[in-house]
Amino acid sequence: MKNFARLAVVFWVVLLLIGCASHPLGMSTDEWNTLSSSERYEAYKEQARLDEAKAIRQAAEKKRRQEIQAERHRQWAAESLKEDERQERLAATRHLAPYGDVIQCSLSNATAKFGKNWQAAQSVSFELQRGEKGVGFSLANVDRNSQKTYLEASFDGLNVKVCSSYGRYCDTLAGSEQAYRRGKSKTINIKKTVKGRLHCSLPRRW
């Protein structure tokens, strides 16, 4: 009885507060006016049940999004750790490589295809070891750092090949060990991708 009395009080308070508000369950004013007091009370109870169910669903969805975000963060952290370890192993391997097996290159004064337009690109440097193929790197738009064109590079000991992503279009800088010791340059023109000055040389630490 006490619970019923409390519900009745809440019901009448709600009636007073929403006298000019919309009716529960999406009822029109005409539909609402045909209901008895007990029917209106049941309508409010049903609306409250629906609102509570909606709140529970929203809370569950929010929790699910948070769990997905946390899992993505864990995966990103794990991948970053793996990449750091890979880079450390690669640096150690290159440091021990024989003279002439590692080459350092830069691509500058470049224009690249960003979407449908050719625009100035930021300079970029990369390092290759003999036998490496399809090493990915990117060129960023001078005016929009987030806008990038993706390239791949390879080195067989004599030739530095730079290609568009997936190796569809390429251009090659060819040189001898002696030429790379002094430093060798070429203006490359990769169809639908990039035009610029490619310069490669052997690191001086050897």
Q: Which of 26-30, 159-163, 192-196 has the lowest mean pLDDT?
A: 26-30
CA atoms within 13 A on the CB side of 173: 26
- What are the pLDDT digits (tens) for 85-102? 767 777 777 777 888 899
Nearest to 107 by CA among 86, 92, 128, 132: 128
Distance CA(80)–CA(103), nearest Å, equals 25
Q: Are 19 and 33 in contact (CB under 8 A)?
A: no
Q: What is the mean pLDDT of residues 180-198?
A: 95
* SS3 label, residue 192: coil
Q: Are 172 and 187 in contact (CB under 8 A)?
A: no
Instruction: Please give the pLDDT value at position 205.
Output: 60
Quote the mean pLDDT of the chain. Answer: 86
Q: To which H or E segment does residue 178 belong?
A: helix 177-182
Beta strands per DSSP E along 27-134: 102-114, 117-121, 124-129
pLDDT at 117 over 50: yes
Q: Are 152 and 167 in contact (CB under 8 A)?
A: yes
Look at 20 and 149; give whichever has higher pLDDT. 149
pLDDT at 6 over 80: no
Q: What is the pTM of this model?
A: 0.58
Instruction: Please give the pLDDT value at position 151.
Output: 95
Instruction: Please give the pLDDT value at position 17.
Output: 46
Q: Which of 2-6, 42-46, 119-123, 168-172 has the lowest mean pLDDT?
A: 2-6
Computed on alpha carbons and rounded to an integer, the radius of gyration of the chain in Å comes to 34
- What are the pLDDT digits (tens) for 34-87? 999 898 999 999 999 999 999 999 999 999 999 999 898 888 877 777 767 767
Nearest to 203 by CA among 104, 107, 124, 135: 104
Instruction: Please give the pLDDT value at position 178.
Output: 93
Q: Are 105 and 186 in contact (CB under 8 A)?
A: no
Distance CA(120)–CA(194), nearest Å, equals 10
Q: What is the mean pLDDT of residues 19-30?
A: 80
Give the list of residues 6+ apart from residue 88 with CB closer than 8 angstroms, or none. none
**Residue found by looking up tokens 């090493």 in the block:** 135
- What are the pLDDT digits (tens) for 125-173? 999 999 989 899 999 999 998 899 999 999 999 999 999 988 889 999 9
